[in-house]
Structure 1
């Protein structure tokens, strides 16, 4: 293992508190976009994304449905790109989430939606991307160039940008997020020992289930992706509710369960499914501000914040865990095999 293996990923994880601070300082630009959205009064929201951005879009779906009380759905790009569907999207808000802004399918979806009457907003880390040109409005997540293939700082910044956008649409001032930079610093520092212990605990693991409910479900999905693409683990993610409907049968003493549980209704709802997997002998690692409140064999604490902002902090120790496991298993998380920074699909 070389000294530089995973160095880019490590650096980019550490950059996130400063990126959050910069994004909060630029909130006025996001509020300007939100003002247009609020004025247009959409009746429905669609979110289009792929990969890590799709998990950020799932988080935004919870935000839209809960904070704005609007129905929201995740778009299926192939209905446009492969099947040529052209639904009437009058008075619909389409938010396209892409770190690179260069995915051909998301570009086509955005262009088509705009022609069909949607108000289109691009949320991306590339301000001069084709996606920004295609959309009527855009939000810059301001994370700077990401060199590691595995998305870390762009994912965290996208979560915060989406929160600030939705919060501003409802007339909020972003005050709930004001302490996030400091809380992110605390999360990275205070959880380090517990993360290192988890790395040692799961070094030889081959199978993991990740699970959560509510806002944190996005974190569980992103955790499974990060572990699979950096450590080549067989990782599957489930809602805590769905876990009890069949997948729990595949959980046994040879399975580790990474459970995301933060204070609030979503974290409270995780107690029952975690009691069920604990009874089956699974090794449960709980991450979040409610980690101490759920059945677990190992815990990684996260400072408490408003429940709707918890995913911005929860993902940090997940990223540290994915980095550490990749390094100790002899892999390079900066350059996972078979992956490129921009995935082009249609």
Structure 2
């Protein structure tokens, strides 16, 4: 990494995402279908998702998918109940899914081992075949993103999203065909980088940023906020649109920069009252989403139309990754190697 120019590695890995998505749809799909058959046979009554950081946002996306598409109750793990308090819940008939780029964090491994010992069906979704989490799990899926060298996760995030979507789609009897257009669409979105460069100039000297969305897009703003904070060190606060109205809206005024994600579908429709309130507050509002929602904003980035809402997060994060990159570069920082970060976080 020391021989690369600042930002070179992150930019390259952002650009690799269409190829990664294509690889998953071709090479990864058979293994995903096999895992889905094993899960179907187990007939889980509940799903428990375990993750940290970027992968936690991917798990949050999976929570929406499983609850909406499968009608399966889903919870997100509080790993300290296992690692600090040594809880041993009864996990019979529970799908215990761990999502991790590296599969190496000690708390992820410990929780997975506990889940397996307590009767859960354990499934690891990682980018490192043979990782400790994979070894601790009964089933595993490789997201096939290839080595990710920049510290901020980009291609592994969208690879996790697509892998999780294909898993859920297979569980409901789908063939994955709704995702076939994603690699080409992703390439088209990334090719519009000049639009993002213009947007990034708005935040070069910002002191804070608020991001908001609802539904499937909520994990997107959580991930975008994380990317912005870890690369540019700009405080970025992600809120569900509903939660934003329950108090935090008070901190928004006519000089407050706000980024909203409002794609086509129920989530974008549910966000409309929030967008109206932001307009009333005079916020500097940038919208990533449908042409209809972007039209009413201060500025924005229009996403391709006609995409199923549940697949939209795979596309809508792309300009936000580029936004984090360009805000960071405009501040004279290196997004490849943010301070105080490591690729494998040793949480216990």
**Superposition TM-score, scaled by structure 2 size:** 0.97
Aligned partners of 1:267 and 1:290 also within 8 Å:
no
Q: Corresponding residue for 1:253?
A: 254
Q: Corresponding residue for 1:265?
A: 266
Residue segments in structure 2 that go unaligned for 5+ positions in a row:
none
Q: Corresponding residue for 1:73?
A: 75
Aligned partners of 2:294 and 2:300 also within 8 Å:
no
Q: Corresponding residue for 1:60?
A: 62
Q: Corresponding residue for 1:278?
A: 279
Q: Corresponding residue for 1:316?
A: 318
Q: Deviations over 1:197-242 (max 9, x none)?
A: 1111221111101111001100010011011011111111000011
Q: Corresponding residue for 1:101?
A: 103
Where 1:299 maps in the other structure, the secondary structure is strand
* Aligned-residue CA RMSD (Å): 1.2
Between the two proteins, the alignment pairs up a number of residues equal to 344
Alignment of 1:138-217 (within 5 A): 138-190=140-192, 192-217=193-218
Alignment of 1:109-148 (within 5 A): 109-148=111-150
Aligned partners of 2:127 and 2:146 also within 8 Å:
yes
Residue segments in structure 1 that go unaligned for 5+ positions in a row:
none
- Give the direction of change, closer, same or farther, for the CA distance of 1:3–1:144 in structure 2 (3 Å limit): closer
- Give the direction of change, closer, same or farther, for the CA distance of 1:262–1:315 in structure 2 (3 Å limit): same
Question: Structure 1: how far apart are the matches of 2:223 and 2:123?
Answer: 23
Aligned-residue offset at 1:292: 3.5
Aligned partners of 1:291 and 1:299 also within 8 Å:
no
Q: Deviations over 1:291-322 (max 9, x none)?
A: 64563101111113110000000110000000
Aligned partners of 1:141 and 1:157 also within 8 Å:
yes
Where 1:237 maps in the other structure, the secondary structure is strand
Aligned partners of 1:63 and 1:166 also within 8 Å:
yes
- Give the direction of change, closer, same or farther, for the CA distance of 1:218–1:290 in structure 2 (3 Å limit): farther
Aligned partners of 1:284 and 1:295 also within 8 Å:
no
Please say which of residues 133-142 and 270-279 is displaced more in the overlay. Answer: 270-279
Question: Structure 2: how far apart are the matches of 1:170 and 1:268?
Answer: 25
Aligned-residue offset at 1:63: 0.5
- Give the direction of change, closer, same or farther, for the CA distance of 1:156–1:40 in structure 2 (3 Å limit): same
Question: Structure 1: how far apart are the matches of 2:26 and 2:51?
Answer: 26
Q: Corresponding residue for 1:235?
A: 236
Alignment of 1:277-296 (within 5 A): 277-290=278-291, 292=293, 295-296=296-297
Q: Corresponding residue for 1:339?
A: 341
Aligned partners of 1:261 and 1:291 also within 8 Å:
no
Aligned partners of 1:271 and 1:295 also within 8 Å:
no
Where 1:238 maps in the other structure, the secondary structure is strand
Q: Deviations over 1:17-38 (max 9, x none)?
A: 0000000002011100011001
- Give the direction of change, closer, same or farther, for the CA distance of 1:290–1:132 in structure 2 (3 Å limit): farther
Of the three residues 27, 30, 35, the one matched with 1:28 is 30
